[in-house]
Amino acid sequence: MNTHTRRDFLQSLSLGTAFLLPQNRILNTINPKNNTVLNIALVGLGSYATHQLAPAFAHTKNCKLAGIVSGSPSKVEIWKKKYNIPDKNVYNYSNFDEIAHNPDIDVVYVVLPNAMHHEFVIRAAKAGKHVICEKPMAVSVKEAQEMIAECKKAGVRLMIGYRLHYEPFTQEIMRLSKGQDHGKVKFIEASFGWRNRDTKAWRMQQKLSGGGALMDVGIYAINACRYATGEEPNFVTAQSVKTEPSVYIDIEETMMWQLHFPSGAISQSTSTYNGNIQRLFVSYEQGFLEMSPAYDYGPLKGRTSKGAMDFPVIYHQVAMLDGMAEEILHKLPSKASGEEGLQDMKIIEAIYQSASQGGAPIKIS
């Protein structure tokens, strides 16, 4: 059985991934205004937490790894020794609520399967902790709305793990959406897929993932179309294709969709578990932008009709963690708010609805 993970795939796309760069090549543009540092506890010690987030804390300036939450005692022992985490900052899923009484934890980062986000974000909010939640933020619009409401009620921040919003290539795409360099956006092609055949992985189980390739990597393409246009789509049409139903049993294998924006811009996207693709193409009135790879951990590569995109290689997770910490510390607007995650969930639900209705246009509220 193929046991490769999405992390393995993302690493293989880049000959030199950012998290493997020597420390003196990792660039971090965050300049903390004071010496205050936020203490973060990771909830869930799976692949992303283990191989991306935890190592990033060695380079962060505004935050540090202070606690862990896991249902695996063997993992806990390894992490305690590796990251010097005291027993008082270690929790399991049953006693997690006791974190409310721990002043040494400021922020909880939920890195669990999608279907568990809702529960643990709300529990963290009720414990009085700021929350970072991996994307997609939930498995339904209803869950996302409840998470936002509970965090507001508790007076804590809710941020979603959109690491790309903190890196320079994506920030340049956002700048170009204003039309100053190449004019208005006319057409976008944004696609992301990888070969996933591990039927035992949680991503392949509807009850844990909430869906297939669309929920996993399709959200990157959806978000890219939104930040490339600077608009929210009016409606969507979508088509689902399954060529191997014995592998992709209760989730979609491949989803194709078209977003229509108020300005007249349109996008075409594909997410799939049955092939490797990672591309963003934006056609403007007087030029274009093309990136591949466009969404992985780096280094990202791209060009416009004016030449190569030349931006520093950064450690995405470092920039995101420090950026989010600074937003909390200094009460700044979030680049990756709960509302940002909610909007993607609205589009995802509309895509599933359209596909289930044979590609009928579905309005996005």
Tokens of 278: 């990672």
Q: 219-229 and 168-176 are packed helices; what angle lies between their axes, rounded to 10 degrees?
A: 50
**Does residue 25 surpass a pLDDT of 60?**
no
Indicate if 220 belongs to the active site.
yes
For residue 298, is it left (φ>0), alpha (ψ between -120 and 50) or beta? Answer: left
pLDDT of residue 22: 30
pLDDT digits (tens, 9 = 90+) for 61-115: 999 999 999 999 999 999 999 999 999 999 999 999 999 999 999 999 999 999 9
Do 202 and 300 lie in one domain? The reply is: yes
What's the residue count for the chain?
Answer: 365
pLDDT of residue 8: 56
- By the 8 A CB rule, do 351 and 225 touch? no
* % the chain with pLDDT above 70: 90
What is the number of domains present in the chain?
2
Residue 188 backbone dihedrals phi, psi, to 5 degrees: -130, 140
DSSP conformation class of 72: -
* Average pLDDT along the chain: 92
Residue 80 lies in a domain: yes
Do 157 and 193 lie in one domain? The reply is: no
**Does residue 3 surpass a pLDDT of 80?**
no
**Nearest residue to 137 (alpha-carbon basis) of 117, 112, 158, 116:** 117
Do 199 and 262 lie in one domain? The reply is: yes
Do 297 and 260 lie in one domain? The reply is: yes
pLDDT of residue 145: 98
Neighbours of 301 (CB within 10 A): 14
Residue 189 backbone dihedrals phi, psi, to 5 degrees: -120, 115
- By the 8 A CB rule, do 269 and 259 touch? yes
Q: Which of 129, 135, 335, 346 is catalytic?
A: 135
Residue 1 lies in a domain: no
Do 102 and 185 lie in one domain? The reply is: no
Do 83 and 180 lie in one domain? The reply is: no
- Mode of pairing for the β-strands spanning 185-195 and 274-284: antiparallel
Do 200 and 115 lie in one domain? The reply is: no
Confidence of residue 23 (pLDDT cuts 50, 70, 90): very low
**Does residue 2 surpass a pLDDT of 90?**
no
Do 244 and 124 lie in one domain? The reply is: no
Provide mean pLDDT across the span 322-335.
Answer: 97
CA 205-269-52 angle, 5° bins: 55
- Host domain of residue 72: 31-163
Hey, what long-range contacts does 140-147 have (CB within 8 A, 24 or more apart)?
Answer: 140/210, 140/345, 140/349, 141/342, 141/345, 141/346, 141/349, 143/117, 143/118, 144/338, 144/341, 144/342, 144/345, 145/342, 146/118, 146/122, 147/117, 147/118, 147/121, 147/122, 147/338
Residue 96 backbone dihedrals phi, psi, to 5 degrees: -55, -35
What CATH number does the domain containing 116 carry? 3.40.50.720
Q: Which of 48, 166, 220, 273 is catalytic?
A: 220
pLDDT digits (tens, 9 = 90+) for 120-138: 999 999 999 999 999 999 9
Residue 2 lies in a domain: no
Do 79 and 115 lie in one domain? The reply is: yes
What is the C-alpha to C-alpha distance for residues 350 and 348, in angstroms, rounded to an integer?
Answer: 5
Residue 343 lies in a domain: yes
pLDDT digits (tens, 9 = 90+) for 209-237: 999 999 999 999 999 999 999 999 999 99
Residue 104 lies in a domain: yes
Confidence of residue 14 (pLDDT cuts 50, 70, 90): very low
pLDDT digits (tens, 9 = 90+) for 46-74: 999 999 999 999 999 999 999 999 999 99
Domain boundary among 163, 198, 225: 163
Tokens of 158: 């809710």
Dihedral of the alpha carbons of 176, 278, 303, 26, in degrees to the nearest 10: 90
Indicate if 135 belongs to the active site.
yes
For residue 126, is it left (φ>0), alpha (ψ between -120 and 50) or beta? Answer: alpha
Domain boundary among 163, 190, 224: 163
Do 208 and 255 lie in one domain? The reply is: yes
Residue matched to tokens 């390894």: 78
What CATH number does the domain containing 260 carry? 3.30.360.10
Paired strand residues for 130: 107
Residue 23 lies in a domain: no
CA 184-342-55 angle, 5° bins: 95
**Does residue 242 surpass a pLDDT of 60?**
yes
Do 299 and 175 lie in one domain? The reply is: yes
**Residue type, position 14, single letter:** S
Q: In the chain, what is the straight-line distance between the N-terminal and C-terminal CA atoms, in Å?
A: 42
Residue 261 lies in a domain: yes
* % the chain with pLDDT above 90: 89
Do 255 and 108 lie in one domain? The reply is: no
Q: Which residues of 55-91 are buried (b: 16+ CB within 10 A; e: fewer)?
A: bbbebbbbbbbbbbbbeeeebbeebeeebebeeebbb
- By the 8 A CB rule, do 322 and 330 touch? no
Domain boundary among 163, 183, 213: 163
Residue 329 lies in a domain: no
